[in-house]
Structure 1
Amino acid sequence: MPTITFVTNDNKAVEAPDNSNLLRVSLREKGGIPFKCGGGLCGTCKCRIVEGLANTDAVKPKERKHFTEEQFAQGHRLACQTFVNGDISVSWQLPA
């Protein structure tokens, strides 16, 4: 099972089944990724895959409204739209 490390939450590490949704894992395991809508509209769950970007699925059309190609290359994703197929580390901005 892949390990997801929530860097912004004191490097909390949890295991999740293959093809797990990143935001759902965060909610279930108290990972701490902020969210509001959960459907790719608001952008609240913006995060950056610090390690293991290749272990995530393809970018979704809804994500293209929030990021540039350069940001995708740097690992930026929406947690609600991202599915994990291997070990990753993820960080995000803390709400003000």
Structure 2
Amino acid sequence: MIEVTFITNGNKVATAPDNSNLLRVSLREQGGIPFLCGGGKCGTCKCRIEQGIEHTDKVKDKERKHLTQEDLDQGYRMACQTFVLEGSISVSWVPKKKA
């Protein structure tokens, strides 16, 4: 099992099976990561893996369209494209502005 801490959502903690998609865990557990498309096209699910980046899969080409190398070096990923393989991660993001 993996454990995801959603820092921006009051440190909410969720568990899921190994090799789970980060955005799907967020949706299922009301983690709060913002998104529009869920397929790597829009870039709205950009988030930062604050701890545990070593527990995620390799960066995909769709992510490289939205993230610079500097972003990747700082731990940013696209939640819709990121799978948590095992262990624990902590993730944060910039909250959507309310209208």
User: Where on the TM-score scale, by shorter chain, does this alignment land: which range?
Assistant: over 0.9
CA distance in 2 between counterparts of 1:40 and 1:48 reads 16
Name the structure 2 match of 1:3: 3
CA distance in 1 between counterparts of 2:39 and 2:93 reads 18
Identity of aligned pairs, percent?
68
Say what the alpha-carbon RMSD is for the aligned residues: 0.6
Name the structure 2 match of 1:12: 12
Q: Normalization by structure 1: what TM-score?
A: 0.98
Moved beyond 2 Å, runs of 4+: none
Name the structure 1 match of 2:93: 92
Shift of 1:64: 0.3
Matched residue count: 96
Shift of 1:71: 1.1
Contiguous gaps of at least 5 residues in structure 2: none
CA distance in 2 between counterparts of 1:93 and 1:18 reads 26
Contiguous gaps of at least 5 residues in structure 1: none
Q: Normalization by structure 2: what TM-score?
A: 0.95
Deviation per residue, 1:37-96 (Å, 9 max, x gap): 000000110000000000000000000011111211111000000000221000001011
